[in-house]
Structure 1
Amino acid sequence: MLAKVERIDPSELELNDKLIFINRVTKVVKGGKRMGFAALVVTGDGKNHVGIGVGKAKEVPSAISKASANAKRNLSRILLNGTTVPHEIVFKYGAAQVLLKPAAPGTGIIAGGSVRAVLESTGIKDILTKSMGCSNKANVAKATLGGLTAMRDPKTTVTKRRSSLKEEAAGG
């Protein structure tokens, strides 16, 4: 499940949209088949802000614009450690599972498909990834974003753990 994050105003950021995929869908009605399109877009400023959006419409351009607007509404701030992520994490969304691992400077983005699009939009330069489970592009992208938003600063975590241990020792 994706973490609840604070709202970010997209008007203050210089955002770039990337189209991950367009899906052609049909609805069977009495008169035949109705065609429609669903678009998945990732938007980011390359400086720790990223969002994913899905848009559906009868025409491709309007589906893309709806997805872009949805992505701007769902922006998240990502915690980074220089040009990589602070720690290793495995995140699952649906049947898609994504492993995000920090990498040494100069490694580059070792990822493919929708994982790469999300990471590039975030501004991450060095990372190792592995996508496991299903290959559904929407779920893989959401798993990647979920993993990035679930990142915690190791120093803050250690401080919290130490303070809770001190409280237990004092109380017990």
Structure 2
Amino acid sequence: MARTPNTDRRQRGGDDQRNRSPRSDERDEEFLDKLVHINRVAKVVKGGRRFAFAALVVVGDGKGRVGFGTGKAREVPEAIRKATDQAKRTMIKVPLREGRTLHHDTNGHFGAGWVTLRSAPAGTGIISGGPMRAVFETMGVQDVVGKCTGTTNPYNMIKATFDALVNSQAPRQVAARRGKKVGDIVARRDGAAAAGATE
């Protein structure tokens, strides 16, 4: 006896897919993405040169999560889409102080580039330019001072910035590692910041 296809199951699957797509679109809308750099590249083959586009994109949720990705394709929109997808898959979580700045100063480097990030009081704004500003804006940082030396390559600047952000830790994490109270860590941090301001 021939089996009849289960149309109800397939129908339910189709309904689930239709119902699932709006939610996935809403999740995508939660992220902020910025195109940092795009350039044309060429591959030399037997018949000549094949041109393509390479894109560097930064993606964040505005609440401390941020990631970057690169993509290459024959067309610009496809390269940007690939870079955005990669950035969403490689996002990191950075603890923020009061939801606006970093908890402490931190350094990072990649290749010849060195990055210094400093926490700043309210009202300072983002004192940084180029690719670093795109990272802070998508991450949700409102007050920070950043400086990069040794390179102007946007790829190296982004990677050095992420190396510095990975080293950023919240007072709770530092207290747990050192076996101290969170209040002691915060008091020491605030005291050091006040001493630096007076100097």
Question: What TM-score do the two structures reach when normalised by structure 1?
Answer: 0.84
Matched, 1:84 2:101: yes
Shift of 1:154: 3.0
Shift of 1:12: 7.8
Distance between the aligned counterparts of 1:139 and 1:93, measured in 2?
Answer: 6
Answer with 1 or 2: which has the greater Rg: 2
Matched, 1:128 2:145: yes
Aligned partner of 1:99 in structure 2 is 116
Distance between the aligned counterparts of 1:38 and 1:12, measured in 2?
Answer: 22
Distance between the aligned counterparts of 1:144 and 1:29, measured in 2?
Answer: 36
Aligned partner of 2:53 in structure 1 is 37
Distance between the aligned counterparts of 2:28 and 2:57, measured in 1?
Answer: 20
**Bigger RCO of structures 1 and 2 (CA < 8 A, at least 6 apart):** 1
Q: Which runs of 4+ in 1 moved over 6 A?
A: none
Matched, 1:66 2:82: yes
Aligned partner of 1:3 in structure 2 is none
* Kept after mapping to 1: 8 A contact 2:108/2:162: no
| Pairing 1:1-172 to 2, within 5 Å after superposition | 11=27, 14-82=30-98, 83-162=100-179
- Residues 107-162 of structure 1, C-alpha deviation per residue, up to 9 Å, x if partnerless? 00000000000010000000011101111101111211221122112343144224
Unpaired runs of 5+ in structure 1? 1-9, 164-172
* Kept after mapping to 2: 8 A contact 1:40/1:52: yes
Shift of 1:79: 0.7
The one-letter amino acid paired with 2:56 is L
User: For 2:86, what is the secondary structure of its paired residue?
Assistant: helix
Distance between the aligned counterparts of 2:152 and 2:30, measured in 1?
Answer: 30
* Kept after mapping to 2: 8 A contact 1:79/1:148: no
- Residues 20-79 of structure 1, C-alpha deviation per residue, up to 9 Å, x if partnerless? 010110111222111011100001111111110000111111000000111111111111
Shift of 1:99: 0.4
Question: What TM-score do the two structures reach when normalised by structure 2?
Answer: 0.73
The one-letter amino acid paired with 1:143 is A
Give the share of equivalent positions with the same residue, in percent.
47
More helix as a share of residues: 2
Distance between the aligned counterparts of 1:65 and 1:44, measured in 2?
Answer: 15
Unpaired runs of 5+ in structure 2? 1-25, 181-199
CA RMSD, aligned part only? 1.9
User: For 1:98, what is the secondary structure of its paired residue?
Assistant: strand
The one-letter amino acid paired with 1:34 is R
